[in-house]
Structure 1
Amino acid sequence: MKALPEPARLRAGDLASVGLEGLRGRPLRAVLSALGIAIGVAAMIGLVGISTVSRAALMEEIEQLGTNLLTVEPGTTLTGKDSTLPENAESMVSRIPGVTGVSATGLVEDATARRTDKISSATTSGIAVQATRTNLLGTLGGTVQSGAFLNAATSQYPSVVLGSTAAERLGIDRAGAHVYIDGQWFKVVGVLEEVALAPEIDRSALIGWSYAERLGFDGNVTTLYERSTEETVGAVRSVLGYTVNPQHPEEVQISRPSDALTAQAAAERTFNALFFGLGAIALLAGGVGIANIMVISVLERRQEIGLRRSLGATRGQIRLQFLTESVTLSALGGAAGVLIGLATCLGYAVYRDWPLALPGQAIVGGALAAVTIGALAGVYPARRAANLTPTEALATS
């Protein structure tokens, strides 16, 4: 008995051509099927990408501002009363090895800044007034938006520097205007940019330390700002309380403002897992859609399957044909989703003037997930097509 010839093997190019034939024959269905995958991948990369560039901008800001600024504030006594910082706190802190700058502010009680003298205290509480040292801006690393900061001369006169938020609330955008403080007019000599590490400065009206005493300022330091080298900030923090108040170090509150920004960056990284989950759900929905379309495609192309089987195509070749079609459909959707997601996050980064940080993990993960889901979605339709005998496939209903 003569042996039957072995079926011809499909080369990779032939397999791709056969697999793409179904997509070319039904382009609208292919586009709509791939759209679900594209939306899932775009959502994953877009959300993770925006989070990535946001975190990159935050880390860049932290690097510029530094993590070596510490703030010291009075706490409470054992009896629950508000404590005060000693008068020599600034000079004592300046002697700590590694300290590069010390400055302070003090709240001027019962004094508020108002735009005019016509505004009643019953209408608004006004802007808090703080006495400040002339080296405050240098210690904080802040900048002036308009005018100049207080110096040895202007701090002796009714001059005021407004924080960014205070200036906005008072309707003042540049130096030269006047504000009403404690029954007299003060000239605005400067308006500050936002001070990220000291938001309390943004909300304050800053006047000279010596002139504040004329308004009843008691001279007590409300907040002490200390700047040290990056290498010594830990050591300085460990002795800061004992240096400021040797007798009662427990009554001193010490904080590092940059910790809040660092925690925010860590939180954004945590949110990436949530964004991956949201994208995965959308990808799963897209995969179900592709599986549904492939099952319908098998039913519609029964005669094509029967004809190919009659001409010698094996079950494995039929299986690979439909599996290739499913993976290709998903891969095209994934590629479109990657482009849409990247365009979204990079466009948002350019709009916000943030660093262009690509979400590498999301790109690779999204592309691999799209191909994997396409393969899984095509397994059942491919097996169903391969199990059809030529007679079953060519039979008309």
Structure 2
Amino acid sequence: MDVRDLWTEALAGVLARPLRSALTTLGTVLGITTLVITIGVSSTAGNQIVGRFDALGATSVTVVVPPPPPSADPVPLVDWSGVRAVARLAGVESVAAIADSQETASVQVRANDVVAPGEVTGQTMAVVAASPTLPAAVRGRMTAGRFFDDGDVSRHERVAVVGDQAARLLGIGSVEDSPAVFLKGQAYTVIGVLGGAEREQRLATAVILPPTTAADRLGLGTVTRVLINTALGAADQVAHQAPIALAPGADDALAVMAPPDPADARKGVQGDVNGLFLVLGLVSLVVGAIGIANVTLVTVIERIGEIGLRRALGASRRQVAGQFLLESTTIGLLGGVVGAALGLVVVVAVSAVRDWTPVLDVRLAFGAPVAGALVGLLAGLYPSLRAARMEPVDALRS
């Protein structure tokens, strides 16, 4: 039998029962569609998530300054003026220094100095010192008033900025009347409320003082962290240069927390999504393969007379097996083609709805039909071998 004749016979067998063939193909279609959607959506979502990660996490660098060793006259590793040196680095968009300590992590803060018996007159809050560039460094905004400036710092002004949640706890709704907060018996004029901080969100419940004022009155003058925001793609370079700019010659003593490589994040996202949905695609493919095997086996049983007649007219076992094997492979191939097309359409549709840029691998268009044909080939092995084992006399008698 010529290969073309074998293909013609197999195609005729598939089209002889179009509804059954269509339902059999549906299992493979679902499996291939799920796999294509899995790969396409995971790649697209990976790029989207990494893009959002770049917008915040991949541009944030934090330098942690260890406390100075105990001595009679400890010299801090990082001075407040070091912020200006970091700000001059290429790729740095904003930078600020923060000073905090265990002693000021929980301070009784009151909005007035009147103590009424039986009433709660204060709140326990953290008190920190920060450079005037803090709002930009934490990606926050002033919801009321203003942040202290270099003039307030140089004059050692007794002013304070409170976080938005701290303002609500203390009952400070406006700074126009120059409200005051009392820390350890000393009054500080509240000149602003800081809100919407994307970094250092704990500042929402904190009281922020100028570094000179905090050093004079609370002994809080040693920088403990430097917050740096960089341009996209400059975080790695800034992470290497910032310690040198802050503490020349002692940069090894500083700890730098830099964001991971976005490429690693993309691979991680794709791996997680693939691992989640790949199982569904494989299950669908297994169900499709079982359906093809079942229908092919039923077809063999229904066509026992035809098989006997072919064998009696001289068809070999290989030709009989090849015919049924080619039928199951054709069904799998059709399912792969339709499944690949539907999967690509779904990926593009999901990307359009979510305003994402679809990421499509050209190899899917060719790999999916091949995978479908392979599923059909494997599913048709047993029924085809069973058909080939039939003896002509027994088949004709049946």
Q: Say whether 1:192 aligns with 2:196.
A: yes
1:47 pairs, out of 38, 52, 55, with 38
CA distance in 1, matches of 2:41, 2:145: 37
Amino acid at match of 2:376: G
Match of 1:73 in 2: 64
Match of 2:210 in 1: 210
Match of 1:110 in 2: 106
SS where residue 105 of structure 1 aligns?
Answer: strand
SS where residue 26 of structure 1 aligns?
Answer: helix
CA distance in 2, matches of 1:368, 1:147: 64
SS where residue 225 of structure 1 aligns?
Answer: strand
Match of 1:266 in 2: 267
Match of 1:59 in 2: 50
When normalised by structure 1's length, the TM-score is 0.67
Q: Say whether 1:90 aligns with 2:86.
A: no
Q: Say whether 1:26 aligns with 2:20.
A: yes
Per-residue deviation, residues 27-53 of structure 1 (Å, max 9, x unmatched): 5xx52x444434433443333333222
Q: Say whether 1:324 aligns with 2:318.
A: no
Structure 1 residue 101: Cα displacement: 4.2
Tell me if the contact between 2:50 and 2:266 (Cα under 8 Å) persists in the aligned partners. Answer: yes
Tell me if the contact between 1:150 and 1:208 (Cα under 8 Å) persists in the aligned partners. Answer: no
Tell me if the contact between 1:160 and 1:208 (Cα under 8 Å) persists in the aligned partners. Answer: yes
Amino acid at match of 2:63: V
Match of 1:3 in 2: none
Structure 1 residue 289: Cα displacement: 4.0
SS where residue 359 of structure 2 aligns?
Answer: coil
CA distance in 2, matches of 1:201, 1:352: 29
Structure 1 residue 296: Cα displacement: 2.7
Note closer, same or farther for the CA distance 1:10–1:292 as it changes in structure 2 (3 Å cut).
same
CA distance in 1, matches of 2:92, 2:68: 27
SS where residue 259 of structure 1 aligns?
Answer: coil
Note closer, same or farther for the CA distance 1:188–1:388 as it changes in structure 2 (3 Å cut).
farther
Note closer, same or farther for the CA distance 1:356–1:125 as it changes in structure 2 (3 Å cut).
farther
Mean Cα deviation higher: 212-221 or 39-48:
212-221
Note closer, same or farther for the CA distance 1:191–1:368 as it changes in structure 2 (3 Å cut).
farther
SS where residue 72 of structure 1 aligns?
Answer: strand
Amino acid at match of 2:106: D
CA distance in 2, matches of 1:64, 1:177: 32
1:298 pairs, out of 297, 300, 312, with 300
Per-residue deviation, residues 340-374 of structure 1 (Å, max 9, x unmatched): 65566556555655433335555654432222111
Match of 1:10 in 2: 5
Tell me if the contact between 1:159 and 1:188 (Cα under 8 Å) persists in the aligned partners. Answer: yes
CA distance in 1, matches of 2:77, 2:161: 27
Tell me if the contact between 2:211 and 2:221 (Cα under 8 Å) persists in the aligned partners. Answer: no
CA distance in 1, matches of 2:62, 2:29: 49
Tell me if the contact between 1:10 and 1:317 (Cα under 8 Å) persists in the aligned partners. Answer: no
CA distance in 1, matches of 2:283, 2:142: 47
Match of 2:285 in 1: 283
CA distance in 2, matches of 1:321, 1:286: 20
Tell me if the contact between 2:132 and 2:210 (Cα under 8 Å) persists in the aligned partners. Answer: no
Report percent identity of matched pairs. Answer: 24
Note closer, same or farther for the CA distance 1:388–1:25 as it changes in structure 2 (3 Å cut).
farther
CA RMSD of aligned residues (A): 5.1
CA distance in 2, matches of 1:119, 1:51: 56
SS where residue 86 of structure 1 aligns?
Answer: coil
Query: Which runs of structure 2 are paired with 1:128-143 in the superposition (5 Å)?
Result: 130-139=128-137, 142=139
CA distance in 2, matches of 1:290, 1:36: 8
Tell me if the contact between 1:53 and 1:357 (Cα under 8 Å) persists in the aligned partners. Answer: yes
Amino acid at match of 1:381: P
Per-residue deviation, residues 75-134 of structure 1 (Å, max 9, x unmatched): 36679xxx87433332343455765643223446335899xxx99799x976x5655444
SS where residue 260 of structure 2 aligns?
Answer: helix
CA distance in 1, matches of 2:368, 2:174: 55
Tell me if the contact between 2:340 and 2:368 (Cα under 8 Å) persists in the aligned partners. Answer: yes
Note closer, same or farther for the CA distance 1:61–1:146 as it changes in structure 2 (3 Å cut).
farther
SS where residue 324 of structure 2 aligns?
Answer: helix
**Aligned pairs, number:** 368
CA distance in 1, matches of 2:381, 2:292: 11
CA distance in 2, matches of 1:329, 1:264: 39
Tell me if the contact between 2:54 and 2:232 (Cα under 8 Å) persists in the aligned partners. Answer: no
Note closer, same or farther for the CA distance 1:129–1:21 as it changes in structure 2 (3 Å cut).
farther
Tell me if the contact between 1:148 and 1:191 (Cα under 8 Å) persists in the aligned partners. Answer: no
Match of 2:370 in 1: 368
Gaps of 5+ in 1: 1-5
When normalised by structure 2's length, the TM-score is 0.67
CA distance in 1, matches of 2:333, 2:256: 54
CA distance in 2, matches of 1:54, 1:145: 34
Structure 1 residue 314: Cα displacement: 6.3
Amino acid at match of 1:259: P
